[in-house]
Structure 1
């Protein structure tokens, strides 16, 4: 691999995309691992990241245009040629600061450095045609669903679902936001600082900081580079968490001295939010199946100065008799399809829809089991980072039909919105991740 120029960024990006397709790796994890190996400059690392996410966000659109100029079907090309073509086409069509000739020549070079020299002529010809025709590209397919699917690179099944839920105009707004760069959202740690002091500290480190428009203590950051290198991070003055996830505090109504159970706690953000709201007084039991994830929760708690969190390796579906009826608040942030966080994980959209079909059964089992741990008069909070009703209100509605000892209980958001026991947040409406949140109270007498 060559050193000290932007070609490194392209080679690194190609390695990430190949890892995602061959090994099923998630783009964010594969990118982080690859950047650790490549030792790129900050500028090259930014270009690499932009290419990886840009190709993922626009894959169907890039395929549509490339197919118009390629004599072979893209999925018939030997790997990694299809990704080399997408990398080149993305730069030509979306990155104004990259000259077309550089995008073409460096893509040809990627063929040579990856054992595909024989295909360099094909890559050169196809990308030159894309560059020559970028002001007169082929029209998008006819039909509303097909057009939106290609234009915003979301599978047709998801586009149909969104249109049925939101209508065409708002569905398109959702799709558009999915392809935007997601802000990095962090929560102020009130155990160590306050919002004003943290804003001043971060700006002093060269970070661009914007307070969230309606969630107190939530800041949106840009220009951070590696967050973990900031002294404010090292000293535990903030934790990374989207505004929507932080709203668990509104539904859970945490108070000092409570006993809280976080059933599916990794990576720990909701447990940390509970500790902040409880002023580090009380007890929080954070659970997950995997010890390596629990280790990260413990490390995060230590960095943040939280002492009220303990961890346990537990399957959320397996009943623990000793926990029955013992907790003031039980949080069920269950495994889900993740379709509310496509901005952050663009590759989620390409997962086989059949992989999502088993999720509601798992979610229902976790909710059923977790309800047994709520004391009389306590709260059961269910949440997901998806926007699909079958993983959200259909799960909680059915649960309440089967359990008359629980009932929805209204709660309010910081923007003045009152939720009648549950609500879905949408990125195009609320400037948050897509997120479902519900609050259910156990009656004092069953």
Structure 2
């Protein structure tokens, strides 16, 4: 059986698509490009905004049209959030929502045999246990991802994720350690702990910090760990103390702020004020001076005035993030924000987005110039013999070398170009 996978949305969706690929190939099936003839088209969907939901629908209809003889399998957030009538209109062969994802291969093989259409979407309130979806190897990569958490209890006013993925639930500590050891044994020297709300990891008394401590103790000392994203309220003293003790936890945290204005944050239902955020940021940097901290920002949220935006701009500049991921606000039906009045005109949102992107470029340059010596995980080599990777602070690095490079090396950069460290190295000048 030939299959294709189309992935929309976040990095967690990308992780899950990699899991589907690994499991299907393990059962003898062959992955092909989406534009190639295939027997099964899998669409891993997103619903975070109305636009994302529309893109999911468009992709489903497009693949049905271009692959009229293929079975169409739709999985993930969009179909979980959609009502039964909307799902029926899709007219596809198999629908799996936020649960039964680890049964995808079995369900597809059943479908190939009996050709009976199924809709496996269940009430989101019934999801109480974490579905194990371990990926055991990432081909030709030293960095691996390990999903340890799913779901969210925060209910930000703009976000549909709690309705599409359910409440928080975590992979057992023992299973996390087992998978990490397996990844380590296969040569993955950096493991990224990921989830919808990674900082809320909880298995009994085991928090994220306690989990990391055990991972450090029970995996090869060459393995480093990176946290995909974490809320400022979850960077507790235990985690900070652990990061101070070891460089095996990468010197980068991605901490979403979403807005730098208290009035906007309140409408967003975010669990902090800008003053609380900045105070915690200062404490983290005081304890870990070589850390870089990046963030997410939503621009043009409902009722965001020019004054509120300027406040956000100034506070983002003062926070000195290493870079910004900037998102224009997009309404999602069913959220609290979708019922608020006062949408910001698209042209104004676009102007504000561009202003913050320019700020992000300036912030990244400033942050990159703080560092001289870099520890770099080599991820790939292009056709010109140039090596690519990321340093501990998660800035991209491009290395021109006369000698083969692999795994993790220490270098000194020569210039910064297009927000990338450029390293010019000759034979004998590299330090492993």
Q: Check whether TM > 0.5.
A: no
TM-score by structure 1 length? 0.31
Larger Rg: 1
Higher RCO (Cα < 8 Å, 6 or more apart): 1
Higher strand share: 2
